[in-house]
Structure 1
Amino acid sequence: MTLTRWNPTRELTELEREMDRLMDRFFNMDRFFSPDLFGDLNVFTRGWVPAMDILENDDEFIVNLELPGINKDDVNITYRDGFLTIEGERKQEAEDKNLHYHRTERRYGKFVRSFRLPTDIKEDQIEAVYKDGILTLHLPKVETAKPKHIEVKVEK
């Protein structure tokens, strides 16, 4: 048996570190594509959260969501006031009374993913494609006015 010296401030130091980490996430999070402040804790309050990638090029944002086992009719996508919201539900199969689970890791129920886009997009040109369990959204950007170069003339 190994004896270790008891440090009365260890729990307080760990709590202080955790509070610093939480405050740092809150005050320094990217306001556009930030994860939820409390991360995976929301799984317990909102059901489950599908994995998501957000990509950007000069012309558009591309959003990929992992939604295996979900019917396309159970997914709702809205864009309003700069916020894109994707919500849906993965329904559990009917339970067979003759089967007993040894392990269950898949999550079922409703989900919601919502985030603000950093630039305006062309709402009427949003495309959504669902293939092989992946929902892909194409969000074309609104073209911004390019700065015009003004030449300075020198008078003689």
Structure 2
Amino acid sequence: MTNLTRWDPFQEMMTLREAMNQLFEESFVRPDLARGGFVPALDLSETEDAYLVEAAVPGLKPEDLEVTVENNLLTIKGEIKQESQETKRNYHRIERRYGAFQRQVALPRSVKADAIKATLNNGVLRLEIPKAEEVKPRRILINPTSN
């Protein structure tokens, strides 16, 4: 037997609170979204030995990106250039985002900035940022005492 679900048009309407949250997010927290700018999505994770940053930068080549670390602030800069539009075509919609971007991430103080490894594979920039020795957990052996 099939259950019928009644469609409620009010359930799909955005509440005033949701609309205000979205407006605030687009205007103040991420103003680049309101202007249609491109900001790469980031994944931040940690292993025992390193911090990992993975950024989605589809279509970019290594020479299109600039990665710097200064005062424990990781900066990823780049630009996605728009292909020249053909004059023989009439565009009905352009949804891909173009333009320069910059993304910054504060790093912990105890990293080896001079040993960062960066790779770019299938549109994902992967940064492996080694932890400094004093941050890595160490196991301390306890010696038995002889009385």
Q: TM-score with structure 1 length normalisation?
A: 0.66
Spell out, residue by residue over 1:61-111, the C-alpha distance to the aligned partner (whole angstroms, 9 max, x if none). Answer: 111111111122110000011100000000111110011222211100000
State the AA in 1 paired with 2:66: N
State the AA in 2 paired with 1:100: N
Alignment partner, residue 135 of structure 1: 125
| Cα distance in 2 between the residues matched to 1:108 and 1:40 | 16
Q: TM-score with structure 2 length normalisation?
A: 0.70
**Which of 92, 99, 102 is the aligned partner of 1:109?**
99
| Cα distance in 2 between the residues matched to 1:147 and 1:54 | 26
8 A Cα contact 2:27 2:34, kept in partner: no
8 A Cα contact 1:65 1:134, kept in partner: yes
**Which of 9, 15, 29 is the aligned partner of 1:39?**
29
State the AA in 2 paired with 1:69: G
Higher helix share: 1
| Cα distance in 2 between the residues matched to 1:125 and 1:40 | 31
State the AA in 2 paired with 1:72: P
| Cα distance in 2 between the residues matched to 1:45 and 1:81 | 29
| Cα distance in 2 between the residues matched to 1:139 and 1:109 | 27
* Paired residues for 1:90-109 under 5 Å: 90-109=80-99
**Which of 31, 38, 45 is the aligned partner of 1:55?**
45
| Cα distance in 2 between the residues matched to 1:66 and 1:136 | 9
CA RMSD in angstroms, aligned pairs only: 3.1
State the AA in 1 paired with 2:29: G
SS in structure 2 at match of 1:43: helix
Spell out, residue by residue over 1:18-71, the C-alpha distance to the aligned partner (whole angstroms, 9 max, x if none). Answer: 59xx7xx9xxxxxxxxxx993332234583101110111111111111111112
Shift of residue 130, structure 1, vs aligned partner: 0.5
Shift of residue 140, structure 1, vs aligned partner: 0.5
Gaps of 5+ in 1: 1-10, 26-35, 151-156
8 A Cα contact 2:79 2:100, kept in partner: yes
| Cα distance in 2 between the residues matched to 1:118 and 1:50 | 21
Q: Count residues in correspondence.
A: 123
